[in-house]
Structure formats: structure tokens, C-alpha cells
Amino acid sequence: MIKQWLILHKHKIRVLLMMMLMSVVILSVQLQQDHVLPLDITFADNKSSLSSLSKGLSTSLADHKPINYHITSSPTIELLSSTKNEAKISLPPKTVYLTFDDGPSKLTGKVLDILKESNIKGTFFVLGEQVHRYPEFITRITEEGHALGNHTYNHNYEELYKGFSPFWNQIKQTEDEISLITGFRPSLVRAPGGTAGHFDDTYFTLLKQGGYQVVDWNVDSGDSKRRGVPAQEIIKGATTDIHSDQIIVLMHDGSGHEETVKALPEIITYYRDKGYKFDILTPELEPVQFKITESARALKRQQPSQEWTATNVAPNSTLFSKGKRLVMEIGRMETDFKYGEYRLTEGRIMVPLRATMEKLGVKVEWDGENKLVRMNMGMESIQMNVVTGQWISNNRIMNQVERTMNVPVQLSGDTLWVPLRELLQASGYAQIAVSMNKVEWRVTTIDK
């Protein structure tokens, strides 16, 4: 009886078995695709989910814009792309820059001791008057690999923010103090109190034009909010989580900041435990700068003249030029100095006297007893007084003085550095042209 029923309904049974087999296949495919999706994603529009899934396993969730999905647990959405493990994303390391303002002072030595013990480097924005008072700390800062920045000369807000020219003059004063000790001029600048509310467009524009990099901060330790801020409060301020991988912490090593010294080891430990590396600020880094406020723009300040800017600011950037060689085209002769064999000081090209004159075939004689330098160049002779800076050019044939100049020179070790333009003028070259391109400075003279 069953056999007869099967024979009569064999066509229907075959159709039913085929439908069941298709259902199993479809269910298997859907389960495989569901397994690839993150478990924490649910689709609000169930009708569109199947059609979206049919686009293939290689489509990332970012491409499913028509689908409204939400995350129910994990904040991370994994991509469906099979190439996920092949792509390596290179992110900058988490870095913290510890910066110290208003020094150096007697506390600076303690700060340097802590940094040395922790084997990390910091950036010190120094005041010129403090540099003059504690030059030994400037030497130690540079010798131990820390960075120096310019924090003006006396930190006097009333003077610094009444106009750009006084601010500029204090920057140059501090530069001079640092240069006397280290032989270089820092291009990093931090404004006392920060730029917010103090800097207008003129300050930013002209400092950049002069070759400087202005740096503010994004984490304030709060150690200068009032006198005697306790160490625990400083630690709390210095470790404020701003959700950034690049942290610039403002602290102070000036007089009266003993609590900052107490707080420093714990601040270092905090960032080290968080996986940050420690580094120094450099002009090449993208600076943190506060936005210009409307109140600063509204201040009626005296603006520097175009003539003052052209004389003081425009040529200043040459102080920070790097890598260019110096080419001297003297009449029909050409010679050069590699970068590092000459200096740029206050917009002047400074050259070592003996090496320069030897390149020109001139012998230099040194009178140590009288601190005099003598050079004989055919009909011309030059005598320099290293102490007074007086240069005397003589005509040896006529035995008479042709010109007298007062030009400061720099004696560094056994090397006497002199300004190239004045040296050539004293040698009788009245017409001198200086040009610059990406690879060289070129000084050209016309025959006497």
C-alpha cells in the first residue's frame, strides 16, 4: 500500500526533496556570512540586510551606507575586507614634551638631575636676565642634550605687549646672552603668559618671517596659577588627559617653584606608564599655537614701520639657514666654504680670518703681545686690533692710511672670526653683492 502511494506521488516527493535541499544550501550560506560579521552589530532594517550581504565578503562595513546599524557592545568595528591584516598603519609614537619656563634658577640644577636620572630630555624656555645670572646652567642644559628656547629677557608683560618692536628687542637680547655661552641662537620662542590674549597677527607674522617658531602648550601643570601651588595639584594638572598622542606640558623651573621639582618624578612616571616617549621640541615639529583672540586684535598697538621691518626682521631668518655653502667670487678667482666653515651672526656672514685669507693667497701675521693682526696684500696692508675692533687699511706705496673702520671681531679659541663684507671692503673692494639660492650663498666683488 505504501509502495503504491510512493509510486503515485513520486513526482511530488521529488519536488519536495529538491526544495528541502535548496533550503539547506541557502541557510548554510547565510550562516557563513553571519559568522563573518562582528557579533556586536545588529541591523535595524532586516529587509535590506540579506541584499546587502549578497554583495560579498570583501565589502567593508564602511561601504554599507544605506544600512542603518548600531554598535551594541564593542566600540571597534572590524572590516570585512580580507586585506585587513596585510595593511600596516604607521602612526606617530605617543610623545610627551616636558617644557620649563622662566629659568634658569637655582632650581634648574635639581630639574636637570631628575631628568638625567630618568634618562630623558626636556626643553627649557629661558629668560635673558636669568641666562646672564646663571650661565653655568645654560652650558649644562646644552651639554646634556636638552633643548633651549627663548622666553624674552625680563618677562615684563607691560613692556612686551605694548608693541612688537619691544618684544623683538627682548628676543634679540636673550639671543645675544645665549650665543655668548653656546655659540648658537635658538629659533624656538615661547611668549610669557602664552600667545592667547597677547599676540595679534603682527607678532605671529613677523616672528615667522624672522625665522622663529612660536610654541605654546596643550597641557598646563598649573604650577604658576598662584604662589606655592602644592605638588599634588601640579601632578594632577600636568597629567590631564586630553586624548592626544602629542603632549606639550607647561612647567616652570624659575625661583619659587620648589613644588614643581617635587612633582616632576611622578609626572615622568605617569607618562612612562602610559607608554609615552619623551623628546625635545625642535623647529621642525608642527607647533602648538593658541588662536588669536579678538581682544588682542582690538588692542591699539604701535606697528613697526616697513623700513624697520626690512632692516631688522627680513634678514634675520638667515641666522637659521642650514646646509648652504658659501661661494666667494673675488675678481677672477672663486673659492668656497662648506656649511659649518662659516657663521651667520646678526645677519652678517662671519668667516675665519686666517682660513679665508689663505684661500685668497694672503699671509696672516699675529702679534700676540699687542693683540694685533696684520695682513699684506700687495699695495694694501690691513691691521686689526682684536680688543678695540679698529681696522686700519694702509697704502704701502704711498705709506698713508686709506681707511679706518670699527668692526667687532670674535675670538673663539684660536680662531678669529670677522665679517666677510667688511673684510673685503677693507681689502679695497668697494662693490660687493650678496645673493642666495637653495644651495649656496654667493658673494661677488668687482676688481679694484
- Per the CB < 8 A criterion, the answer to whether 233 and 257 are in contact is no
101 is catalytic: yes
Q: All 3 cell numbers of residue 420?
A: 666677510
Q: 252, 253, 257, 279: which is the annotated catalytic residue?
A: 252
Cβ 89 vs Cβ 243: under 8 Å = no
Full strand arrangement of the beta sheet holding 348-352: 343-345, 348-352, 415-419, 410-412
Whether the Cβ atoms of residue 382 and residue 393 lie closer than 8 Å to each other: yes
Decide: helix, strand or coil at residue 371.
coil
- Whole-angstrom distance, CA of residue 213 vs CA of residue 34: 54
User: Taking the CB of residue 51, how many other CB atoms lie within 10 A of it?
Assistant: 10
- Catalytic one of 101, 102, 200, 223: 101
Confirm whether 245 is a catalytic residue. no
Residues 279 and 95: beta-carbon distance below 8 Å:
yes
State the cell numbers at 79. Answer: 572590516
CB 133 within 8 A of CB 162: no
Give the residue among 80, 122, 128 at the shortest CA–CA distance from 97: 122
- Here the cell at position 289 is 599655537
Please list, residue by residue across 70-79, b when 16 or more beta carbons sit within 10 angstroms of its beta carbon and e when fewer do. eeeeeeeeee
> What residue type is 401 in one-letter code?
V
Nearest to 282 by CA among 99, 94, 92, 91: 99
Rounded Cα distance between 225 and 223, Å, is 6
Q: What is the CA radius of gyration of the chain?
A: 36
What gap in Å lies between CA 354 and CA 348, rounded to an integer? 18
CA nearest 365: which of 349, 386, 348? 386
| Helices 258-273 and 231-238, axial angle in degrees (round to 10) | 40
Question: Which active-site residues does the annotation give?
Answer: 101, 252
